[in-house]
Amino acid sequence: MELSVLNIKGTETGRTVSLDEQIFGIEPNDHAVYLDVKQYLANQRQGTHKSKERGEVAGSTRKIKRQKGTGTARAGAITSPVFVGGGRVFGPRPRNYGFKLNKKVKQLARKSALTYKALDNSILVIENFDLAAPKTKELVAITNNLKISDKKSLFVLPEENKNLYLSSRNLQGVSVVTASELTTYQILNAKSLVILEASIEKIEEVFKI
């Protein structure tokens, strides 16, 4: 698949890049995508939820009435779950929601997501650029030139770039990630995938098995 390389002004440079069919043109596997996204979202959960059970709520453990002869059900303590203010039965406890996913499944999911973006013509390749200082205004101008200012966009960098990261931090629809940290969820969540020219080789290096 051939794509034209654009500059930060949104015009074609006259150069093209070839996207590897083994990464951007495979047969998508929806189940692998589902599992990878599910794992990503599960890992975002803190799992710190907790409610007090009958042994943890404040209250006397004195037997509140005699066992028999009251005409009502027997009760051992005011902290019983059947009383208002008592403990909760089978309440949530702290837990880890993460689960294991094989490396090859995750690779297949990422390739499938990249293939979907290629099929939707949602990939833009731009020449390498750098910002002299963190300037949100400059990044806004770039998104306007690329005509993606009204879409969720993900900039894929070959390596960490602090100035570009800081410039995007205050923009709601713009995210920045390095090629080695690209996830299936991030790819699918973005409407436009903006890949720097140097990132193409890095993606092929990371995702090709």
In this structure, what CATH number is given to the domain that contains residue 171?
3.40.1370.10
> Residue 90: is its pLDDT beyond 70?
yes
Domain end, chosen from 38, 59, 91, is at 91
Q: What is the pLDDT of residue 93?
A: 95
Q: Is 160 in the same domain as 107?
A: yes
Q: Is 56 in the same domain as 149?
A: no
Mean pLDDT in residue range 41-49: 95
Q: Is 18 in the same domain as 83?
A: no
Q: Is 33 in the same domain as 84?
A: no
Q: What is the pLDDT of residue 61?
A: 87
Q: Is 179 in the same domain as 106?
A: yes
The CB density around residue 28, as the number of other CB atoms within 10 Å, is 16
Q: pLDDT digit string (tens) for 115-160? A: 999 999 999 999 988 888 999 999 999 999 999 888 899 999 998 9
Burial annotation 190-205 (CB, 10 A radius, 16+ → b, else e): bebbbbbbebbebbee
Q: Considering its fold, how many domains does the chain have in total? A: 2
Q: Is 182 in the same domain as 117?
A: yes
Q: What is the pLDDT of residue 209?
A: 59
Q: Is 157 helix (H, G, I), strand (E, B) or coil?
A: strand
Q: What is the pLDDT of residue 85?
A: 92
- How far is residue 5's CA from residue 8's CA, in Å, rounded to a whole number? 10
Q: By residue range, what is the domain housing residue 7?
A: 2-46+98-207
Q: Is 170 in the same domain as 105?
A: yes
Q: Is 103 in the same domain as 157?
A: yes
Q: pLDDT digit string (tens) for 46-64? A: 999 999 999 999 999 899 9
Name the band, by pLDDT with cuts 50, 70 and 90, for residue 40. Answer: very high
Q: Is 33 in the same domain as 111?
A: yes
> Residue 208: is its pLDDT beyond 80?
no
Mean pLDDT in residue range 172-197: 93
Under 8 Å between Cβ of 123 and 117: yes
Under 8 Å between Cβ of 145 and 8: yes
Angle between helix 103-119 and 30-44 (nearest 10)? 110
Q: What is the pLDDT of residue 68?
A: 93
pTM above the 0.85 mark?
no
- Determine what percent of the chain is predicted with pLDDT higher than 70: 100
Q: What is the pLDDT of residue 50?
A: 95
126 has which bridge partners?
A: 6, 196
Under 8 Å between Cβ of 57 and 85: yes
The enclosing H or E element of 165 equals: helix 162-168
Q: Is 174 in the same domain as 122?
A: yes
Name the band, by pLDDT with cuts 50, 70 and 90, for residue 3. Answer: confident
Q: Is 75 in the same domain as 156?
A: no
CB-count exposure of residue 92 (10 Å: 0-12, 13-18, 19+): exposed
- How far is residue 8's CA from residue 141's CA, in Å, rounded to a whole number? 9
Mean pLDDT in residue range 70-95: 93
- How far is residue 64's CA from residue 69's CA, in Å, rounded to a whole number? 14
Rounded to a whole number, what is the distance in angstroms from the first to the last CA of the chain? 19
Q: Is 72 helix (H, G, I), strand (E, B) or coil?
A: coil
Mean pLDDT of the chain: 92
